């Protein structure tokens, strides 16, 4: 028999027994997975590599959302909009070219999303070629990656989802060379939005991949912003550096979004200054007057393409040109892009993007490090760690390499890919 005290508590907090019941039935992360190490830390949490204790020890990536803290005490303060989005959308979708969510575990005030593991990502491939191989990505690989990326995007767009944060670090590739679009933390359903898209998030898409209509302050935008980002990604794969590497103007103290002059300048230098003839809606853009005050440029895109081996054909140029249409309505849709002649030209895209590649051309496996914040996750078993790491020195090295690869500058201590104070700026605001 329970005491009077506990029955009082029950009347005061009638959910006590419910919670106790759920807590005891809950399967814990540690019951199901062995954490092998830490992969990356992002805006919303940390990503770990884990081995399933069931199903033949499959490898997974577990994204742990940062728990909220008040002082030192971890507490419940409400699940972030970003986590809700990523969870809600991932529960609905399933496509070969979109990273699959296996399950979500809720434990100790934290949310763990368990994803299928992807050994590589676009940023890694770019880096491997620019730093290690010092050679271009082959046309075949470039085309295969692009095709699969568009294929995944077509699925998302058909499902009325805009990704809104496409960039090399968010586009993963499995060991088998299959592209997997990841990170739906900024993605949104566009069907019957109760609020216009711009109302929810002041800033979307990381600055280098941000479409001109967004930079010009458009209140309404659509799937075409993802297509622009694809154009930027394709160009980056072809040249191994971001094509429009602008400096982001920071939000002012009132959180107003400033005019992104430098980013627009970087775009105009390559594509030329847009005019009302190419883009009817241009004059209605909120930043139109600011734009008018900038110097004008002519397009250089053809020249740009001709000097990049893998886009140096008429079709290659046309493809990129169509992805970079200033007028969002004229930009190719994912479907049209997939049907572009460039994909018909040899070499044709392959299902395994790394098909026929010599091993050394495939980027190395993800570097897994010791979690630098061990309290965040139960520490991996010693045996599991030692397989992966040998010395403390190599761990540090690995951590640095990883931080650079993902452009995170973890704890602000590591420089970014491009150096010179640039970082791959986050699209999101706190």
How far apart, in whole angstroms, are the C-alpha atoms of residue 408 and residue 403? 5
* Nearer of residues 61 and 285 to ligand ATP, judged by Cβ: 61
Identify residues 140-169 at the interface with ligand ATP (CB under 6 A). Answer: 169
CA 168 to chain centre: 7
395 near ligand ATP, judged by CB under 6 A = no
How many Cβ atoms are within 10 Å of 120's Cβ, its own excluded?
Answer: 23
Only one of the segments 4-12, 34-42, 293-301, 354-362 lies at the binding site for other proteins (rule: CB under 8 A); that segment is: 4-12
Closest distance between other proteins and the C-beta of residue 159, in Å? 4
Q: Residues 236-265: x/- map of binding to other proteins (CB under 8 A)?
A: ------------------------------
SS3 269: helix
344 near other proteins, judged by CB under 8 A = no
14 near other proteins, judged by CB under 8 A = yes
SS3 254: coil
According to DSSP, residue 100 is labeled: P
* Nearer of residues 183 and 287 to Mg ion, judged by Cβ: 183
From residue 232, give the alpha-carbon distance in Å to each of 12, 161, 166, 371. 57, 20, 9, 32
121 near ligand ATP, judged by CB under 6 A = yes
182 near ligand ATP, judged by CB under 6 A = yes
How far apart, in whole angstroms, are the C-alpha atoms of residue 154 and residue 337? 9
Active site residue 165: yes
How far apart, in whole angstroms, are the C-alpha atoms of residue 85 and residue 78? 14
Only one of the segments 79-87, 251-259, 316-324, 403-411 lies at the binding site for other proteins (rule: CB under 8 A); that segment is: 79-87
Between β-strands 45-52 and 161-162, what pairing exists: parallel, antiparallel or unpaired? unpaired
Among 24, 71, 76, 298, binds other proteins (CB under 8 A): 76
115 near ligand ATP, judged by CB under 6 A = yes
How many Cβ atoms are within 10 Å of 3's Cβ, its own excluded?
Answer: 8
Cβ neighbors of 203 (< 8 A, separation 6 or more) are: 251, 257, 427, 428, 429
How far apart, in whole angstroms, are the C-alpha atoms of residue 154 and residue 168? 18
Binding residues for ligand ATP, total number by CB under 6 A: 23
Dihedral, CA atoms, 114, 205, 128, 171, nearest 10 degrees? 40
Only one of the segments 115-123, 151-159, 308-316, 318-326 lies at the binding site for ligand ATP (rule: CB under 6 A); that segment is: 115-123
Q: What is the CA radius of gyration of the chain?
A: 23
* Nearer of residues 128 and 424 to Mg ion, judged by Cβ: 424
313 near other proteins, judged by CB under 8 A = no
According to DSSP, residue 373 is labeled: S
211 in Cβ contact with 328 (< 8 Å): yes
Closest distance between other proteins and the C-beta of residue 222, in Å? 8
Identify residues 153-172 at the interface with Mg ion (CB under 5 A). Answer: 170
Which does residue 50 bind out of other proteins, Mg ion, ligand ATP, none, counting CB within 5 to 8 angstroms by kind? none
286 near other proteins, judged by CB under 8 A = no
Cβ neighbors of 429 (< 8 A, separation 6 or more) are: 201, 202, 203, 251, 255
SS3 188: strand
383 near other proteins, judged by CB under 8 A = no
75 near other proteins, judged by CB under 8 A = yes
Which strand (E) or helix (H) includes residue 29?
helix 29-32
74 near other proteins, judged by CB under 8 A = no
Helices and strands in the chain: count of H runs, count of E runs: 16, 12
10 near other proteins, judged by CB under 8 A = yes
- Of the listed 165, 183, 226, 371, which one is catalytic? 165
39 near ligand ATP, judged by CB under 6 A = yes
19 near other proteins, judged by CB under 8 A = yes
How far apart, in whole angstroms, are the C-alpha atoms of residue 273 and residue 265? 9
Which strand (E) or helix (H) includes residue 255?
none
Among 86, 121, 183, 248, binds Mg ion (CB under 5 A): 183
Closest distance between ligand ATP and the C-beta of residue 172, in Å? 6
172 near ligand ATP, judged by CB under 6 A = yes
Between β-strands 110-116 and 69-70, what pairing exists: parallel, antiparallel or unpaired? unpaired
Which positions lie near other proteins, rule CB under 8 A?
1-8, 10-15, 17-19, 21-22, 26, 75-79, 81, 84, 87-89, 91-94, 104, 106, 109, 158-161, 188-196, 200, 220
The set of catalytic residues is: 165
Which positions lie near Mg ion, rule CB under 5 A?
170, 183
Which positions lie near ligand ATP, rule CB under 6 A?
39-40, 42-45, 47, 61, 63, 99, 115-118, 121, 169-170, 172, 182-183, 185, 406, 426
């Amino acid at each position: 028999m329970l005491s009077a005290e506990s029955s009082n508590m029950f009347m005061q907090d009638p959910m006590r027994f419910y919670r106790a019941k759920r807590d005891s039935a809950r399967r814990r992360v540690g019951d199901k997975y062995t954490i092998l190490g830490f992969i990356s830390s992002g805006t919303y949490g940390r990503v770990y590599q884990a081995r399933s204790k069931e199903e033949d020890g499959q490898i997974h990536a577990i994204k742990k959302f940062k728990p909220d803290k008040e002082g030192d005490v971890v507490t419940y303060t409400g699940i972030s909009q970003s986590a809700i989005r990523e969870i809600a959308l991932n529960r609905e979708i399933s496509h070969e070219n979109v990273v699959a969510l296996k399950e979500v575990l809720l434990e100790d005030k934290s949310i763990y999303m368990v994803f299928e593991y992807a050994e590589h990502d676009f940023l890694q491939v770019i880096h491997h070629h620019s730093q290690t191989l010092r050679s271009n990505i082959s046309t075949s690989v470039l085309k295969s990656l692009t095709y699969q990326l568009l294929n995944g995007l077509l699925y998302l767009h058909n499902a009325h989802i805009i990704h809104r944060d496409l960039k090399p670090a968010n586009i993963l590739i499995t060991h088998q060379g299959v592209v997997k679009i990841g990170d739906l933390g900024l993605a949104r359903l566009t069907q019957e939005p109760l609020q216009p898209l711009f109302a929810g998030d002041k800033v979307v898409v990381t600055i280098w991949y941000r479409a001109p209509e967004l930079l010009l302050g458009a209140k309404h935008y659509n799937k075409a912003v993802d297509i622009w980002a694809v154009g930027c990604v394709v160009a980056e794969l072809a040249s191994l550096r971001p094509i429009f590497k602008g400096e982001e103007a920071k939000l002012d103290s009132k959180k107003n979004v400033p005019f992104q002059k430098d980013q627009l300048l970087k775009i105009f230098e390559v594509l030329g200054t847009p005019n009302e003839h190419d883009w009817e809606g241009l004059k209605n853009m909120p930043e139109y007057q600011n734009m008018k005050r900038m110097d004008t440029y002519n397009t250089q895109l053809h020249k740009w393409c001709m000097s990049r081996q893998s886009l140096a054909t008429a079709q290659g140029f046309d493809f990129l040109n169509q992805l970079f249409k200033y007028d969002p309505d004229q930009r190719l849709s994912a479907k049209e892009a997939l049907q572009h002649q460039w994909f018909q030209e040899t070499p044709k895209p392959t299902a395994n993007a790394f098909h026929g590649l010599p091993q050394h051309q495939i980027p190395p496996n993800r570097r897994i490090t010791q979690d630098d914040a061990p309290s965040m996750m139960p520490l991996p078993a010693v045996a599991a760690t030692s397989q992966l790491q040998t010395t403390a020195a190599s761990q540090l090295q690995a951590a640095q390499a990883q931080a650079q690869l993902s452009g995170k500058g973890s704890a602000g201590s590591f420089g970014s890919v491009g150096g010179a104070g640039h970082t791959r700026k986050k699209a999101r605001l706190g």
